[in-house]
Amino acid sequence: MYEPPFTRDRDANERLAARECDACGWVSFPEHREICKRCGSVGEWTDTELEERGTVQSYVVQQRLPDEFETPLPLAIMDVPQTSGGDPARVYGLFTETDPEHIDIGMEAEADFRRIFDVDGLPIHSFKFKRPRGDRL
């Protein structure tokens, strides 16, 4: 049965559920792959879960986007640790409730599950990142 990607990946997006390559330890998130991006091995994965906080490795601030998105919108590449240890997942994260001037490489950010946009009137939920509470400027 056909399922749109946002439905198929819903579980991963809601729980920060990821999969770790048994051969090399690379973590796939949020998409579930058959072939490991790092080592090319096929099919051997272990379910894992990510911490709710990661560290900003790099970021851009998007200024021009379709009307349904607020701008400026920071988009960061985050390293998010697994709850069980091992390699962190490299995650693309949209930011929310965070002034773009207050984002820095090396800062911690926490995942926040929320409505991202609507498709045909149905809300699509996924995660965004924001400065942890108590760490706001």
C-beta of 38 vs 115, nearer to Zn ion: 38
At closest approach, how far in Å is the CB of 78 from Zn ion? 20
C-beta of 35 vs 119, nearer to Zn ion: 35
Order of all β-strands in the sheet with 122-130: 89-94, 73-80, 53-62, 108-119, 122-130
Q: Which two tokens stand for residue 85?
A: 């240890």
Site for Zn ion, rule CB under 5 A:
21, 23-24, 26, 36, 38-39
At closest approach, how far in Å is the CB of 8 from Zn ion? 22
Phi-psi region of 80 (alpha: psi -120 to 50; beta: other; left: phi over 0): beta
At closest approach, how far in Å is the CB of 109 from Zn ion? 26
